[in-house]
Amino acid sequence: MREAIIRLRYRYWPDHWLGEILSKRWTETAIPVFVLLIVGFWLSQSIHNFLSLASLADTARQACEIGFISLGMALVVIVGGIDLSVGSMFALTDFCALFTLDVLGWPVPLVAAATVVCGMLLGAVNGILIGYLRLRAFITTLITLIIYRSAFDLLIQRYSNDIAAAFPDFPSWDFVGNGTVLGVPSVAILYIAVAIFGHIFLTRLRPGWHVTAIGGSRRSAYNSGVAVRRTIALCYVASGALTAVGALFFAARLGTVGGDIGVGLEITVLTATVLGGITLGGGRGSVAKSLVGTLIVLLIINGLTTLNARGGVNRIVLAGILLTAAIVDIRWLKNRSRIISKVYVSPTYLALPEPPATEIGGGGPFEQNDKLRSVSLIGLGRIEAPEDVILDRHDNLYAGSRHGDIIRFFPPDYERMEVFAHIGGQPLGMAFDRKDNLYVCIGGMGLYRIAPDGKVEKATDETNRSLYSVNDDSRLRLADDLDITDSGLVFFSEATVRYEMDEWPIDGLEARGNGRIICYDTNTGKTHTVLRGLKFPNGICVASDGQSILFAETWGCSVKRYWFDGPKKGAVETVIDNLPGYPDNINLASDGNYWLAVVGMRSPALDLAWKMPSFRLRMAKRVPGDEWLFPNINTGCVVKFNEAGKILESYWDLKGVNHPMITSMREHRGYLYLGGIANNRIGRYKLERANPNFVQYEKRWGKQ
Amino acid sequence: MKRFRITQQEIVFVVFAALFVFCSLFLKGFLTSANILALLQNVSVLGILGLAMAIVVIGGGIDISLIAALAVPPGLVLQMVQDGHSLSSSIVVAFAIAIAFGLVNGWLIAYAEVPSLFATLASGIFLAGLGQAFLFRVEVVQWSDGMAGFDRLGQASVFGVPMPIILLAATCLAVAFLLRRTRWGAYIYAVGDNRAAARVTGIPTRPIIVLQYVLAAVIGCFAGLVLAASVNSMPTRIFNSTLIYDVILVVVLGGIGLSGGRGGVVNVILGTLLIGTMLNGMTIMNLSYAAQNLVKGVVLLAAVIADTFINPRNEETAQQGDI
Amino acid sequence: MTSLSKWTCAGLMAAGIAAAASSGVFAAEQGLNEPFQAKFRADLSGKTIAFVPVAMGFDLTEGWWAGLKKELKPYGIKFELRDPNWNTNAGAQAVTSLVTEKPAVMVIHNPDVQTYAKLLKRAEDAGIYVVQINMGSAYRSSAFVGANWIEIGERDTEAVVNACKGKSNKIAIVQGAVSAAASAYTLRGVSNVLAKHPEITVVSSQAADWDAAKAKGITQTVLKQHPDLCGIVGFWDGMDIGTAAAVKEAGLTGKVFLATSGGGEHRGACDLVKTGAFDLDLSYDVPTQAAQMAGTIKWLLSSTDAKPGAVKGSEYTTLIPITKANADAPGTCWNLDELKKEAGE
Amino acid sequence: MSDIILSLEKATKLYSGVPAIEDVDFELRRGEIHALVGENGAGKSTLTKVMAGVVTLTSGAMKIDGAEASPGTPLEARNLGVAMVFQENSLVPTMTVAQNLFLGQERFYNRLRGINIAAQQFLQSLNFDVPPTAIVGSLGAAKKQMVEIARAVLHNAKMIIFDEPTAALTPEERKYFFDLVRDLKHRGVSIVFISHALEEALILADRITVLRDGKKIVTDDASKFDRARIVQAMVGRDLSHTLYGVKKTTVRPAGERVLTIQNLKMAPMVKNNSLSIFAGQITGVFGLVGAGRTETFKIVAGIMKRDFFYGGDVILRDKPVRYRVPAPAVKAGVAYVTEDRKIEGFFETATIARNIYLGLLAKFPGGRALLSQRDQSASSADWVKRLNVRAIGDAAKVIELSGGNQQKVVIAKSLVQEPDLIIFDEPTRGVDVGAIVEIHELINRLADAGKAVVVISSYLPEILGLSDRILVSRQGKVVEEFSALEATEEKIMYAAIH
């Protein structure tokens, strides 16, 4: 009963999402967003028409005006500076708009252009001083704040009466100030457009990268060839321009050049920027953060005002929320990576039946023996980590190595060897196609093709992103083994989508179906995922019927069959359900049966632990990683099974002296060639009763 | 190589001297002892605030909440006396509030690790709001009879020297003594110079940071009392003004780098004198307030630009997050 | 008669009449039914008045708010307060959101002549009466209640000019914030008078931004250079505390004539005139302004034809000059605490 | 096409009038691996920065492919085919690995998934296991170095300059790096590399140039050099017998047990670490970068905090302690001499005397509120003499000193606190050879005086030359202990890796 509950809980509750969601970069903004939601909820409860369209539109107008300025400030802060002069620039550009409209009588488009240019010029002063003359941003913009403000004061002394006297009546001007499109204020539409562009700009466009790089490390950016000074200067120009856009809408809405326009605006904007999570000092920040920060600050100020709160109360509440949010946010950012490392590993429930007996004298197909004692060794000490071995029509033997090479041994004695091709990564599974191209699964890289002349080509490194996956699973992390169908489809397994190449054992601790089988079509060059949720899918072999593949699920201790064609297309069926160890590669035998490598034997301790997810969770949290309970992968065997999944025979090397580990095997002209990922040798075992002329790919596709 | 360098401090001194000579030569009534005293008196509160800011900036932070500390506790003194409490108990309460405020600031920055700019920005708003909402009935807290005699703090003079100047000088001496002669002063410099190194050396960095903000709040409160005494009221609306920017200018212009660990009381005095001379000269010239600001800004900008040209910074020496 | 005593008398009389009436006449027989009062009550009850000051927390706005409540609360009127706390943008936002919330009346204290102008027009178009107090905007709404700044400037300056007769004829002007309407209009009043008095020289005319400390600094410098100054025109008593402190510090109290203006709250006005800090403080008597607003609102709400936007009128406040002569007299100044108490706050 | 890809003639670079390199002639052949060796401040970095366009020559000429060239920015240099891997990490810590890799040659619009996959392909093809989506700031030193190297290779430069490329790499990764460099060489790319590990220069380089005090001393084929000749050229005198002296034949016996660590944990760096430290001897702690050595001892000194739950114990002289800040640890007689003196070593704008005096004050405030000028000058004069700190004057700021003298000031600042347990973390990193000898002598004297001394180092000769007892750390815990008598380089290295 209890076990059933545990099973159901782990089957349906996606524990692993927590760690994956937290690993997303946008969760850095989680706290500000959370605060925004709380504030929004609280206001919608206390102000009865808070969520009405009219009220939201009113809020949006002001929020977007400030939002433009916040965007500019965000840009400047991300580039590693600060712009205190925004308030004064706001006032001056507001004046510029109204002066050109009311006093000079310019048409509205020209007014808009003039205002933005005015903002850019004001920003350019900052930009030149800070970017090119290398003045300190804080002190410089503090001084320009004073200068611009006094210039504004002098100007309105002279012109405020002229502006006050005019009541401009242009429909286009009113549209800028109060117009809506489908109920959305004009300013919001422009803001959304600018924000979307800003997001793309910062994350994907070259100048945006440069901005982030300069903020993150000025010297690194310079060394990378970024035009540091120009970029910084342009950021201040952009800040000026964005401020001018905000001021233009403000001018159109209210038409005022009152003396305290923009006073203290820099504080509001800076508060919004920091609250949104954009770090002073540079390098970190996004458009979304800027928006969230702006909304929080404005909602609090306006909401409390609407709730009849006096100015003082308003300030207390605002400051209280700001400080609380800042403290929580700092804790969060500080501990986020630690939390992720604690929660990313999320073991799940896996119950395996009692394994079949393997003891000597226990009988059964798995009974241990010492047949592999007599293997002869190839390339001892000269090769590292040959996970898979393969032989071509000319009896050449190929094996991958840890250094990313494909090594070729020459017959007849396989003493002579050469680096056939260098790819990098970790070559795992291999298979030949009809034209003798060697396809290789490279852990960490994907699927590669090596032409007979040794030329390396990438076949695929990307598949379609699945809809419900939190992690972006389009990147191939651990392509493992493959086989090729007659019609040119390459089926290959990816062992796990949650861990990188060098962390694969952790996947064994989780024992979740994190793996998948992917199909690469050599005819179209397209790649798509065919099966998901497999427990470390490993070996793949096209079955004799040519319509299905057999694949091994390592942590599932099972072999399954998947029909990619024919009447049962799409179906999956279990072939062997309870192996005594962890299956690895599968290959054809000369008699029409299949070879299966068993990489390691199950242990009662891990079998038990797999039924106790919370135990493994505690272990992952408290015990250092190298002392975790991992699947045992050092002794194993080779078994032969038939189409129905019946085990026919098994080959063991009990002492493990000669050939300690087996991850793969190939039958070729009466010999069985053995590979092992932890080995420094290749084994060669003389099979009795085997077809001495069996060449796997000749049998499949005929002689050439 | 060293001796060709002129520090920002020296540039500011040169600018100040030039301005002073200029004003003396061309402005009638500038170079009179009465006017010089007026000049000093006008900037004495700014100077005291500058000293408070200097302590924090030398310690590697910044205190935007200084104006709140200037306005609220002294305002409370006036309000409490108005409501019939005794002057002495009111002053005790005010300083207690200032100390508590400094402790909160320090805690936020040293222990909760909120960046000082943001922490003091918010805490300043909080204190101002607290005063506005609960402590004062109106924003300008008026003098009342119970305060009799206290106005000497702002309006009396000793041997012809107005009291605020004497208080500024006294604060200068006290702060200079603290920074130069005491252990805690040495610690403040150490923390501002390299907080990580100070920590590893075994200096109690967090308490020292708290100490800075407490000192700043207390000095700010003191400046507020001087201000209130000299204008016979506490206009708490001063919080909304841009006074804090002037304070930062005095400190930074004087040559105390925002990166911390550098500078001292001399720099504050220099910065204060420069600002004071400029404002006084322009007041004599009867320039409007806006025009005064404009000129002030341009002169400051010139000083900063001159500094950059004389001490150029390049990509090699640029610091990270150097704002 | 000063306003405070006036109200007290009125209150007492009303109470007396009511007491007499209830115990006497009406108990005896049924009287004549007054035909309009029921409608008047119905027109007022349940209506909302929204007040948008520049900021709460100083004598003027607190006084208006308390005065309005005191007058109108008994009629079942509801009150909304939007305190932008010196932030023009927040104020504009408050007015904007009020337009959608549709209170019956908005009482607006403009930060300058323009910011709210468009919004106020929108409000009246949407059927909301707008009453502007003390600081007008470029838009003329149903009613403006407030001081005549030009008159204030003129009367203050005249007083200073008079005081200067036979003296140095040097005066100084301490302005508020240059962009504020109150300051600009007052300055116009000052120049109107000065135009008639060419013998007067203005040695300094600077803006202190409504800031006492700045006013003190400016005045100090001016006094150091012109110790023979005979008068100062100040623009607001809250700021001129600083001006007065400078004068006192220079030991010129009584020698330099300081004229200013303000809301007439006793601590900020009468007390300071008594101590000699100010020689003249023109008071626009906030409770009276509040009462006038309340009267206007009653009329607007109960009238049948005065639709929002259809009528436009002004009520300029009658100024009370506070000098040593009347500073002690009861009713010259008013007391904020008492007014608040009467308003039930 | 000539055989010389880059040449410098009479290259001189003055910093504020002081020559960093002076009249250096240098030639780089096509497809050669050229090692630059020299002490700190010998001008290696300046020389390479000139080539990479980071600084421009004051006088002299540089030719690239026979044509006069003076790149003013790294970008110009790269357009000329010169790429550089900087010593001070030049990655942007806030960007992802993939972004860093392509920074500088990104397209105008970059598809994030596309660059992630391309970056992974490229990194894996060099056998560098670095996830492309990771933020660089969160990576360890070794992985950062890999990204840095990968970036230089990605640029397809004609010549690549590596400044201390292998410092943070494990031997495994170092092997990959050597293969990579040889592979580049075969492709005709010229390599300049700076290394402190002279063995690397001898193994890898075709030619070696030795610099001293900004001047070129000698350039010759690597086969004509041996260790002694390089050191002699570097230092100008024969130091081979004093530097990293011959294998120890006697060891100091263990005194009282001063420090015991049991099951110490700090995720993710320290994992159930246990060890003991004894008085009167030097305990060397060897391990690769990232083996958790520094973190373990920083926890002891209160600089870092152990895990809150199940964090293990630190026992100082039979008393369990748990310092949350360093101050109480200092008071208890624990001193930690940092490996990164610029970040947490000294006060850069303060004088030497003030630096040392601050150390004294922090340990012995003893109710003294006022500073004593006399104490300050006395303590500093004493230690400046004992450690032989060379400075221009008393008022010299520490930032203006050479690396070795800076290190001595940092040591003096700790020793003035009279600690019983002294932890030296990489005591000779970035220190010139002469000063190394002095610092080693000092460490030996401390142990002779009965102090418990810990020396953390990733340089085997230093560990072997100094230690009486050697602990080997791997993946967050001590895995092996040797007596200095039985230890060999092979044994230690084996323990550190396997």
Compute the average pLDDT of residues A420-444.
Answer: 90
Task: Confirm whether A334 is domain-assigned.
Answer: no
Q: What span, in angstroms and rounded, lies between the C-alpha atoms of D154 and D220? A: 30
Answer whether B305 sits within 8 Å of A133, measured CB to CB.
yes
Confidence of residue A230 (pLDDT cuts 50, 70, 90): very high
Least confident interval from C124-133, D28-37, D227-236: D227-236
Q: In b/e form, how buried is each residue of C111-147, taking b as 16+ CB within 10 angstroms?
A: bbbbbbbbbbbbbbeeebbbbbbbbbbbbbbbbbbbb
The residue assigned the tokens 């019939």 is B84
Q: D257-497: same fold as D4-235? A: yes
Size of interface B-D (CB pairs under 8 A): 92
Confidence of residue B160 (pLDDT cuts 50, 70, 90): confident
D377: amino acid identity, one letter: S
Query: Given CB atoms, is A212 within the 8 Å cutoff of chain D?
Result: yes
- What integer pLDDT is reported at residue C28 of this predicted model? 53
pLDDT above 70: residue C18? no
Which region, left, alpha or beta, applies to residue A533 given φ > 0 means left and ψ of -120 to 50 means alpha?
left
Segment (H or E) for D257: strand D257-266
For A137, the closest of B108, B121, B323 (CB atoms) is: B323
Answer whether A133 sits within 8 Å of B133, measured CB to CB.
no
Compute the average pLDDT of residues A398-419.
Answer: 90
Q: What span, in angstroms and rounded, lies between the C-alpha atoms of A214 and A224? A: 10
Compute the average pLDDT of residues C186-199.
Answer: 93
- Which has more confidence, D215 or D429? D215
Q: How many CA atoms lie within 13 A of B127 on its CB side?
A: 32
The helix/strand count (H/E) of chain C reads as 14, 12
Task: Confirm whether A439 is domain-assigned.
Answer: yes
Answer whether B289 sits within 8 Å of C207, measured CB to CB.
yes
Q: What is the per-residue pLDDT across A527-540, written as a single tens digit (0 to 9) for each?
A: 999 998 899 999 99
| Count of Cβ atoms closer than 10 Å to residue B168 Cβ | 26
- Which has more confidence, D366 or D76? D76
Q: What is the per-residue pLDDT across A115-143, written as a single tens digit (0 to 9) for each?
A: 999 999 999 999 999 999 888 888 899 89
User: Domain holding C159: CATH number?
Assistant: 3.40.50.2300
pLDDT above 70: residue D392? no
Query: Given CB atoms, is C206 within the 8 Å cutoff of chain B?
Result: yes
Closest chain C C-alpha to B172 CA, distance in angstroms: 21
Provide the chain B residues 112-131 that lie in CB contact (below 8 A) with chain A. 112-115, 117-119, 121-126, 128-131
pLDDT above 70: residue A555? yes
Contacts of D86 in chain A (CB under 8 A): 223
Q: What span, in angstroms and rounded, lies between the C-alpha atoms of C157 and C177? A: 18
Percent residues over pLDDT 90 in chain B: 49
Of residues D488, D491, D429, the one with CA closest to residue D456: D429
pLDDT above 50: residue A67? yes
- What integer pLDDT is reported at residue C8 of this predicted model? 55
Answer whether D272 sits within 8 Å of A624, measured CB to CB.
yes
Q: Strands A397-400 and A389-391, how do they pair?
A: antiparallel
- What integer pLDDT is reported at residue B311 of this predicted model? 66
Domain count, chain A: 2
Contacts of D348 in chain B (CB under 8 A): 193-194, 261
Query: Given CB atoms, is A626 within the 8 Å cutoff of chain D?
Result: yes
The stretches of C73-148 forming alpha helices (DSSP H) are: 88-101, 117-125
Q: What span, in angstroms and rounded, lies between the C-alpha atoms of B27 and D197? A: 70
Contact D314, D321 (CB under 8 A): yes
According to CATH, the topology of domain D4-235 is: Rossmann fold (3.40.50)
* C61 and C39 belong to one structural domain: yes
- What integer pLDDT is reported at residue B1 of this predicted model? 34
- Which has more confidence, D72 or B107? B107
Find the residue in B nearest to A279 (Cα). Answer: B115
For C268, the closest of B142, B280, B289 (CB atoms) is: B142
Quote the mean pLDDT of chain A: 89
Q: What span, in angstroms and rounded, lies between the C-alpha atoms of A450 and A439? A: 6
Q: What is the per-residue pLDDT across A378-389, written as a single tens digit (0 to 9) for each?
A: 988 888 889 999
* A298 and A378 belong to one structural domain: no
Q: What span, in angstroms and rounded, lies between the C-alpha atoms of D265 and A99? A: 67
For B315, the closest of A81, A145, A222 (CB atoms) is: A222
- What integer pLDDT is reported at residue A467 of this predicted model? 79
Domain span at C227? 149-283
- What integer pLDDT is reported at residue D208 of this predicted model? 92
Of residues D138, D291, D265, D274, the one with CA closest to residue A621: D265
* A404 and A514 belong to one structural domain: yes
Question: Could you tell me the two tokens for B220?
Answer: 């700010």
* C154 and C96 belong to one structural domain: no
Task: Confirm whether A348 is domain-assigned.
Answer: no
**Starting at the edge strand that comes first in sequence, how are the strands of the sheet with A489-494 ordered?**
A479-484, A489-494, A515-521, A527-534
Domain edge (last residue) among A258, A292, A307: A307
Q: What span, in angstroms and rounded, lies between the C-alpha atoms of D315 and D300? A: 9
Contacts of C64 in chain B (CB under 8 A): none
pLDDT above 90: residue D285? yes
Provide the chain C residues 127-166 that lie in CB contact (below 8 A) with chain A. 138
pLDDT above 70: residue D367? no
Task: Confirm whether A515 is domain-assigned.
Answer: yes
* C205 and C265 belong to one structural domain: yes
Domain count, chain C: 2
Query: Given CB atoms, is A253 within the 8 Å cutoff of chain C?
Result: yes
- Which has more confidence, A474 or B54? B54
- What integer pLDDT is reported at residue B312 of this predicted model? 64
Confidence of residue B319 (pLDDT cuts 50, 70, 90): very low
Closest chain C C-alpha to A122 CA, distance in angstroms: 22
- What integer pLDDT is reported at residue C1 of this predicted model? 41
Which of A46-50, A573-577, D9-13: highest mean pLDDT?
A573-577
Confidence of residue B316 (pLDDT cuts 50, 70, 90): very low
The three state secondary structure string of A396-435 is CEEEECCCCEEEEECCCCCCCEEEEEECCCEEEEEEECCC
Q: Could you tell me the domains of chain B?
A: 2-310 (1.10.3470)
Which of B302-311, D55-64, D93-102: highest mean pLDDT?
D93-102
Find the residue in B nearest to A272 (Cα). Answer: B118
Confidence of residue C10 (pLDDT cuts 50, 70, 90): low
Task: Confirm whether C24 is domain-assigned.
Answer: no
- What integer pLDDT is reported at residue B321 of this predicted model? 40
Compute the average pLDDT of residues D369-386.
Answer: 84
Beta bridge partners of A529: A518
For D129, the closest of A225, A501, A623 (CB atoms) is: A501
The residue assigned the tokens 């994350």 is A203
Beta bridge partners of A561: A550, A573
- What integer pLDDT is reported at residue D81 of this predicted model? 87
Contact A655, A359 (CB under 8 A): no
Domain edge (last residue) among A254, A274, A307: A307
Compute the average pLDDT of residues D476-495.
Answer: 87
Tell me the CATH number of domain D257-497, given options 3.40.630.10, 3.40.50.300, 3.40.1280.10, 3.40.710.10: 3.40.50.300
* A269 and A375 belong to one structural domain: no
pLDDT above 80: residue A656? no
User: Domain holding A400: CATH number?
Assistant: 2.120.10.30
Domain span at A151? 53-307
* C73 and C196 belong to one structural domain: no
* C277 and C296 belong to one structural domain: no
Is the bond preceding A412 in cis, omega lying within 30 degrees of 0?
Answer: yes
* C129 and C249 belong to one structural domain: no
- The ipTM, to two decimals, is 0.86
Which of A235-239, C179-183, D357-361: highest mean pLDDT?
A235-239
For A258, the closest of C96, C101, C179 (CB atoms) is: C179
Question: Could you tell me the two tokens for C90?
Answer: 């927040």
* C98 and C171 belong to one structural domain: no
pLDDT above 70: residue C3? no
* A302 and A376 belong to one structural domain: no
Answer whether C84 sits within 8 Å of A163, measured CB to CB.
no
- What integer pLDDT is reported at residue A504 of this predicted model? 86
- What integer pLDDT is reported at residue A704 of this predicted model? 63
Task: Confirm whether A386 is domain-assigned.
Answer: yes
Task: Confirm whether A360 is domain-assigned.
Answer: no
Closest chain A C-alpha to B291 CA, distance in angstroms: 6
Q: What is the per-residue pLDDT across C230-248, written as a single tens digit (0 to 9) for each?
A: 999 999 988 998 999 899 8
Contacts of B190 in chain D (CB under 8 A): 347, 350, 358
Compute the average pLDDT of residues A155-164.
Answer: 81
* C240 and C306 belong to one structural domain: no
Let me know the angle formed at the C-alpha of A114 by A108 and A118, rounded to the nearest 5 degrees: 145
The residue assigned the tokens 């300025």 is A69
* A520 and A393 belong to one structural domain: yes
Query: Given CB atoms, is B194 within the 8 Å cutoff of chain C?
Result: no
* C168 and C259 belong to one structural domain: yes
Query: Given CB atoms, is A220 within the 8 Å cutoff of chain C?
Result: no
Quote the mean pLDDT of chain C: 86
pLDDT above 80: residue D87? no
Compute the average pLDDT of residues A52-58.
Answer: 81
Query: Given CB atoms, is B245 within the 8 Å cutoff of chain A?
Result: yes
Query: Given CB atoms, is B179 within the 8 Å cutoff of chain D?
Result: no
Query: Given CB atoms, is C324 within the 8 Å cutoff of chain B?
Result: no
Task: Confirm whether A257 is domain-assigned.
Answer: yes
Answer whether A153 sits within 8 Å of B293, measured CB to CB.
yes
Of residues A685, A682, A683, A684, the one with CA closest to residue A386: A682
- What integer pLDDT is reported at residue C111 of this predicted model? 85
- What integer pLDDT is reported at residue D239 of this predicted model? 58
pLDDT above 70: residue C43? yes
Q: What span, in angstroms and rounded, lies between the C-alpha atoms of B253 and B246? A: 10
Query: Given CB atoms, is D86 within the 8 Å cutoff of chain A?
Result: yes
Confidence of residue C208 (pLDDT cuts 50, 70, 90): confident
Answer whether B45 sits within 8 Å of C213, measured CB to CB.
yes
Answer whether D371 sits within 8 Å of B186, measured CB to CB.
yes
- What integer pLDDT is reported at residue A491 of this predicted model? 95
Compute the average pLDDT of residues A599-613.
Answer: 90
Least confident interval from A73-82, B96-105, D336-345: D336-345
Size of interface A-C (CB pairs under 8 A): 114
Task: Confirm whether A314 is domain-assigned.
Answer: no
Q: What span, in angstroms and rounded, lies between the C-alpha atoms of D20 and D43? A: 6
Compute the average pLDDT of residues C66-89.
Answer: 90
Least confident interval from A468-477, B32-41, C51-60: A468-477
Provide the chain B residues 183-222 that lie in CB contact (below 8 A) with chain D. 183-187, 189-190, 193-194, 196-206
- What integer pLDDT is reported at residue C29 of this predicted model? 64
Q: What is the per-residue pLDDT across C324-333, written as a single tens digit (0 to 9) for each?
A: 999 888 889 9
Contacts of B197 in chain D (CB under 8 A): 338, 343-347
Query: Given CB atoms, is A265 within the 8 Å cutoff of chain B?
Result: no
Segment (H or E) for D366: none
